[in-house]
Structure 1
Amino acid sequence: MNRTLPLILAVALFMEQMDSTVIATSLPAIAADIGTSPVTLKLALTSYLVSLAIFIPISGFMADRFGAKKVFRIAIAVFVLGSIACAFSNSLAAFVLSRFLQGMGGAMMTPVGRLVLVRAVPREQLVKAMAWLTVPALIGPIAGPPLGGFVTTYFSWHWIFLINVPIGLLGILLSGYVLPDFAREETGPLDLSGFLLCSIGASGLVFGLSVISLPALPPIVGVATVVLGVLATAFYIRHALRTPAPILNLRLFANRAFRSAILGGALFRIGVGAVPFLLPLMFQVVFGLTPFQSGLLTFASAFGAIAMKFIATTALRLGGFRVVLVAASVLGGASIAVNALFTPTTPHWIIIVVLIGSGLLRSLFFTSANALVFAELGDREASQASTISAAAQQVSIALGVAVGGGILEMSAFITGTELGMDAFVSAFLIVAALSALAAIPFLSLPPEAGSRVSGHIKRRNTVDAPAPAGE
């Protein structure tokens, strides 16, 4: 396998994932500079996520119609333009619109980048290649807050976005040389009705959940938008099952491996998506750490994610998708529950060890689940699979943050006190249980599920083969 290809894709995806959280610790500085409040500026966080939700559904169609390589390079260019616009924004409206433009590029980068990898790499090497994309997806959101705080403190918040320019331009140049030119797939006309319904559904859910968890607007706005998103999603399901070529082909869920990967991945992400919100908040509110100190602690999980890259292939070859994903779900959920045992007196080295182990388990789960999405599908179905996977990812992560924030708000309302350790204990235990429930969809998988990708059955058959006569 040419490692240059997944490395280029990984750098682009890291840039996109990091920008989803990098402004979190820089909001006060940006707000003061453009003349607004930090709470109101949280709309910029939401606008980025909403843009992803709107344009991810059309990414597969664009890649098939115009070529995955071309769309990926244009997506990086749009992302870079959005970054420049963010750096030069001088008002709330300009900044929110610039973040929306960034999201348009990011929406194409993740699913199309994954599609390029699936089509370029033999199925036997997919797990090893997918690990290169899983690591930046996990490290990016964790690295964003401490990196944003560091750059804002010692330089200027503008450099949070300007640093994307040379990285993006290099990515466009290298991808032009390294990424293969895939033949364009035959596509019919754009399913415009499906695109509108799907975009309203996904963006309604993401926007509504973001407003509920980040109250920059009245909570009733978030609730109403979630209801709109649910209704639009229901209408889209009805539309997709009656349309020959829908924008998102829900008939792929008839494939058991694909269905398990999407449903199990969504459940796991709900729990895992709450952790980057809950853990830094607990470190700051209860433990009294600074944002930079809490960011450095949570970054420890990145080392576990990197270490996983060296064991995922062997683990799947020995255990297969079913065993590995069930074990990673249960143990990953347990590692989240351990966070509930932390106290202000817990030595930092113990917290770091736990977070490294947690990062390894999460990375093992996502590498395996992302590979299983494509394990039993052909190249013609890969664009749809990548798009559905990316859309499910955005909605489930937003739901995770909303669940974590909702538990804290409910705990404070019931007890009538400020946020304390008890609220965080409850939140961690609940989201840990949600992550562990991800094991259920994988229990129905046969042992040979995705064996062409994992190599599990091939190895078992080799071990079980009878010895030649005379030995």
Structure 2
Amino acid sequence: MNKPMNKRIIIGILASVLFMEMMDSTIINTAIPEIAKSFQTNPVNLRFAVTSYLLSLAIFIPISGWAADTYGTKTVFSNAIIVFTISSIFCGFSNSLWEMAIFRALQGFGGAMMTPVARLIMVRVFPPHELVRATMNIFIPALLGPVMGPLVGGLITSYSNWRWIFFINIPIGIAALLLTYKYIENEVAENKTDADIIGFLLIGTSLSCFAIAMESVGETIIPAALLKIILSVGIIAFIMFIIHAIQYKDRSILNLQLFKYRTFRFGVIGNVIAYISTGGVAFLLPLLFQLQFGLSPAMSGLLIAPMAVGAIIMRGISPKLIKKYGFKRVISIAPLGICFSLLAISFINKESSYLYICLSCGFLGFFTILLMSSNGPMIYVDIPKAKSANATSLDITIRQFSAGLSIGFVSYLIIVFLNNLNTTIYSIDGIKAFHYTFFILSMIILIQILVSFGLKKQDGEAAAKGSK
């Protein structure tokens, strides 16, 4: 088989695995009411099943780069697929909230080893002039995962059983595993380093404490005094990790020295802003449609589906836009489209037509993919190949924690507005809390425009010319 065909197959493997992993971050959203009935618990409590997955991703992603360098990309990637697939089966057979949370955390561990190593395989297989095109083909489908998750979850929940939202991972996992064994090489770093256990414990403790603090907002599960202690431990651990990372430099589990590369620095900051402003939308809209409008899981999923359609359309356009206008201009214009789309969504009410809702969601998906498909390649264009493992671990850790932060952030906003309005999420006035939240998100994305001022016109020029 010729080399180009091998690359196409590798693209297919990585794209399908990343799509599966990222879709699982949101596929549970539209199924939450039905799962809650099965577990005989409050639907709000199912939030722990969502966040345990994201928290596990954020904690274990930092060690994935070291694991890939030490044991080889193929070894780590294939075993991650096995763990993810088996834990998906356990999730499907769960009979309680805590069983679900535990198995979702295990699923997140598999995803933590799977996603960064997939990026590492990509940057090692494809040269810089092919990187933009490869990124589009691999990560655009992956970015569709969180958007399509509510649709797939809603359809399965309405016409079958919610347990199948996890069982559908089985054939994808088996096929990806077999192709991985055949087509992906097991690359091991020439200069292996010892595991940074201290750094891993510090950043793991910090992220865990921050996540627990975010999820406890508006809840009485954890006493306020204990919550303050947890947050304080998280802050102290984070400060200690920064000091540790500065001292260890390239040996740190998260190499903060990478921020000296300007394109990496601004690309990461841009992604954080993008995730915070758009990452919680797929979480909010199913709640709005089902709790406020009384729609079925399938219908709420269908109304969100235009996000995926808009993203697919942009997939074919974004490489040409980047090639013609460059990264800087695209990154500075795309946030305006996202802002407009979020403002449109903030006016959705029970009387809104399906056409208006679909167009608003479609434009959001369209411009979100344009921004992320620009920030994504920008992060890696100036990173030396020898530091690609460190870059992928740091990049994905920040992405995943930002995704979790976005859900915690929008949940916090909803709770604050509901309390100020002295109403509940089920009441007529509760829709105002959604409107105010979407408005704030539309303002946050405009910060990205200020960040783009730090880029130069020629940044990523070689990679941009490689996009077709």
Structure 1 equivalent of residue 437 of structure 2: 427
Structure 2 residue 449 is matched with structure 1 residue 443: no
- TM-score between the two structures when normalised by the length of structure 1: 0.90
Of the structure 1 ranges 193-202 and 143-152, higher mean CA displacement relative to structure 2 is found in 143-152
Partners of 1:284 and 1:91 lie apart in 2 by 23
Structure 1 equivalent of residue 282 of structure 2: 276
Of the structure 1 ranges 68-77 and 404-413, higher mean CA displacement relative to structure 2 is found in 404-413
Q: Cα 1:449–1:427, aligned 2, differ >3 Å: closer, same or farther?
A: same
Partners of 2:214 and 2:66 lie apart in 1 by 27
Pick one of 416, 440, 463 that aligns with 1:453: 463
Pick one of 174, 197, 217 that aligns with 2:221: 217
The 5 A counterparts of 1:400-411 are 400-411=406-417
Structure 2 equivalent of residue 469 of structure 1: none
For the 8 Å contact 1:43–1:216, the answer to whether it is kept is: no
Partners of 2:352 and 2:158 lie apart in 1 by 28
The 5 A counterparts of 1:32-181 are 32-34=37-39, 36-181=41-186
Partners of 1:330 and 1:261 lie apart in 2 by 17
Structure 2 residue 401 is matched with structure 1 residue 395: yes
Partners of 1:284 and 1:92 lie apart in 2 by 21
For the 8 Å contact 1:209–1:398, the answer to whether it is kept is: no
Q: Cα 1:93–1:421, aligned 2, differ >3 Å: closer, same or farther?
A: closer
- Secondary structure in 1 matching 2:239: helix
For the 8 Å contact 1:262–1:373, the answer to whether it is kept is: yes
Pick one of 316, 319, 343 that aligns with 1:313: 319
Structure 2 residue 339 is matched with structure 1 residue 333: yes
User: How far is the alpha carbon of 1:14 from its aligned partner?
Assistant: 1.1
Sequence identity percentage: 36
User: How far is the alpha carbon of 1:235 from its aligned partner?
Assistant: 1.4
**What's the RMSD between the two structures over aligned residues?**
2.3
- Secondary structure in 2 matching 1:243: helix
For the 8 Å contact 1:268–1:437, the answer to whether it is kept is: no
Pick one of 340, 350, 353 that aligns with 1:347: 353
User: How far is the alpha carbon of 1:351 from its aligned partner?
Assistant: 2.1
Partners of 1:400 and 1:222 lie apart in 2 by 20
User: How far is the alpha carbon of 1:385 from its aligned partner?
Assistant: 1.0
- Secondary structure in 1 matching 2:191: coil
Partners of 2:171 and 2:220 lie apart in 1 by 33
Q: Cα 1:305–1:223, aligned 2, differ >3 Å: closer, same or farther?
A: farther
- Secondary structure in 2 matching 1:212: coil
2:463 partner amino acid: V
Partners of 2:150 and 2:419 lie apart in 1 by 28
For the 8 Å contact 1:340–1:428, the answer to whether it is kept is: yes
Of the structure 1 ranges 115-124 and 142-151, higher mean CA displacement relative to structure 2 is found in 142-151
Structure 1 equivalent of residue 10 of structure 2: 5
For the 8 Å contact 1:269–1:397, the answer to whether it is kept is: yes
Structure 1 equivalent of residue 375 of structure 2: 369
Q: Provide, for residues 295-336 of structure 1, a one-character-per-residue CA deviation record: whole Å limited to 9, x for no partner.
A: 111111101111122112111111111111111123222321
Structure 1 equivalent of residue 301 of structure 2: 295
Of the structure 1 ranges 41-50 and 237-246, higher mean CA displacement relative to structure 2 is found in 41-50
The 5 A counterparts of 1:230-249 are 230-244=235-249, 245-249=251-255
Q: Cα 1:176–1:385, aligned 2, differ >3 Å: closer, same or farther?
A: same
- TM-score between the two structures when normalised by the length of structure 2: 0.91
5+ residue gaps in structure 1?
A: 460-471
Structure 2 equivalent of residue 463 of structure 1: none
Of the structure 1 ranges 417-426 and 296-305, higher mean CA displacement relative to structure 2 is found in 417-426
- Secondary structure in 1 matching 2:247: coil
User: How far is the alpha carbon of 1:359 from its aligned partner?
Assistant: 0.7
Partners of 2:284 and 2:333 lie apart in 1 by 24
For the 8 Å contact 1:240–1:250, the answer to whether it is kept is: yes
For the 8 Å contact 2:311–2:366, the answer to whether it is kept is: yes
Partners of 2:22 and 2:189 lie apart in 1 by 28
Partners of 1:95 and 1:455 lie apart in 2 by 46
User: How far is the alpha carbon of 1:36 from its aligned partner?
Assistant: 4.9
Structure 2 equivalent of residue 323 of structure 1: 329
Partners of 1:285 and 1:223 lie apart in 2 by 32
Partners of 1:223 and 1:265 lie apart in 2 by 29
1:54 partner amino acid: I
User: How far is the alpha carbon of 1:61 from its aligned partner?
Assistant: 0.8
User: How far is the alpha carbon of 1:69 from its aligned partner?
Assistant: 1.9
For the 8 Å contact 1:198–1:233, the answer to whether it is kept is: yes
For the 8 Å contact 2:150–2:286, the answer to whether it is kept is: no
User: How far is the alpha carbon of 1:271 from its aligned partner?
Assistant: 0.4
User: How far is the alpha carbon of 1:41 from its aligned partner?
Assistant: 4.0
User: How far is the alpha carbon of 1:201 from its aligned partner?
Assistant: 1.6
For the 8 Å contact 1:258–1:373, the answer to whether it is kept is: yes
User: How far is the alpha carbon of 1:22 from its aligned partner?
Assistant: 2.0
User: How far is the alpha carbon of 1:140 from its aligned partner?
Assistant: 1.6
Of the structure 1 ranges 56-65 and 397-406, higher mean CA displacement relative to structure 2 is found in 397-406
For the 8 Å contact 1:68–1:182, the answer to whether it is kept is: yes
5+ residue gaps in structure 2?
A: none
Q: Cα 1:286–1:155, aligned 2, differ >3 Å: closer, same or farther?
A: closer
For the 8 Å contact 1:262–1:389, the answer to whether it is kept is: yes
Equivalent residue pairs, number: 457
Partners of 1:201 and 1:354 lie apart in 2 by 37
